[in-house]
Amino acid sequence: MTRKYFGTDGIRGTVGRWPITPEFVLKLGWAAGKVIGGGQGGKVLIGKDTRISGYMFESALEAGLSAAGVDTRMLGPMPTPGIAYLTRTLHADAGIVISASHNPHRDNGIKFFSSDGYKLPDEIEADIEKMIDQPMDSVTSERLGKVRRLDDARGRYIEFCKSTIPARMDFSGVKVVVDCAHGAAYHIAPNVFEEIGAEVFTIGTEPNGLNINDGVGATAPEALQQAVLEHGADFGVALDGDGDRLILVDAEGQIRDGDDILYVLTSSRIRTGEMVGDLVGTLMSNLGLEVALRAQGVGLTRAKVGDRYILEELRARKWLLGGEPSGHIICHDRTTTGDGIVSALQVLAEMHATGKSLSELCRGVSKFPQTLINVALGDNLASEIMQASPVQAEVARVENEMGDEGRVLLRPSGTEPLIRVMVEGRDGDLVLAKAQQIADVVRSACQ
């Protein structure tokens, strides 16, 4: 389906540049209200991360929805999965998230959840896009939507997170470092781990509107590594700005990415007899994970990159687990979307149940060396660059050289103007060299 405004994860871009402008977001709120409310009013939740621009877009969305006759419940700073959960349990017609996830503060975006807590279907997004292009009007004053703040949103979501692991588990004596990336989970994640009994140390919990994802969080886990070692912690949790991405650090200070987490969760579900079907990964999932899963009798189905596509596979096949190396983990037996806090709790519960450390739980997976290089597109189209003859020829040459011992993947970023060049194989030096060779050819094609 051709999209005019929506990408794979809502609408995202640089604040002040079309379409991430106040006037467009006002029109978007109105269009969404007209489509989702169907002219009959309705109720929509709005939550956001901690970017300073969130205040501006929150107001714009509220005004647009009100003009369409839709009531609004304001959640304030709230992780994306928390908004999905509250949309479902409060029987709202939709939930709106104001966030650019792991991007810096100068970016922002809008994404939607339907009433069941899942991403909006493509056809609804298409209807909203069509409505955006219509002249904006307003319902009569007596039909304008009303707005109020939901004061207990934070507490509701904290209780949900805790409910995803057995209440009988006692985590007293466990030391956990929680890095919230100065993002939406800053006032939620530390409380969750404290309330299950752990001793909690925090970083990235002082948002000022400009420091989200800045040197902390899932995209910069070095700060967490240092803190885990300094505090002698058993476990380190790094979330991204909107709380749907998770990277862990074990007691030895080693980073454990999404592939490691998926391996631990799969092993846990097998141990408890809960595992259903195979695991859903992506084109970026490591070959080592596939080999480790196969040893346990579990297959790996690769979807396109993006949690939307993982979730589509899980729902279609009625399977339980899926995710990406970047840390988007979907525990579909616990919730409807990627949730960093919930996923971290699942790993912590498995450590408690088995008496093993995180590093011990990860020993069954040995990942192949993998190099990822991002190449800026400039004003070029990703499809044209990827199909350019020199690029195609270089990829074919590297694939032929590596044979069955590796793989090459070129793909456009779904959120930034980049082409991602990935090479994977058994020989780390060879992988790095080949990735650089291909990236150089891609850069030349972009000039």
Distance CA 58, CA 206 (A): 21
What residue ranges in 324-377 does DSSP mark as E strands?
329-331, 370-376
| Structure tokens that stand for 110 in this block | 């809008």
Closest of 51, 31, 131, 63 to residue 97, by C-alpha? 51
Rounded Cα distance between 97 and 81, Å, is 10
- How many Å apart are CA 429 and CA 433, to the nearest integer? 6
d(CA 232, CA 443): 44
| Dihedral pair phi/psi, residue 419, rounded to 5° | -110, 130
DSSP assignment, residue 404?
G
Which is the catalytic residue, given 101, 268, 285, 343? 101
Whole-number Å distance between alpha carbons of 204 and 179: 5
Please indicate whether residue 99 is annotated as part of the active site: no
Can you give the length of the chain in residues? 447
Contacts of 52 (CB under 8 A, 6+ apart): 105, 209, 210
Q: Are 150 and 74 in contact (CB under 8 A)?
A: yes
C-alpha angle with apex 192: 187 to 196, nearest 5 degrees?
A: 150
In SS3 terms, 128-144 reads as: HHHHHCCCCCCCCHHHC
**Facing residues of 374 across strands?**
420
Contact between 330 and 310 under an 8 Å Cβ cutoff? The reply is: yes
Two tokens, residue 264:
């631990």
As annotated, the active-site residues are 101
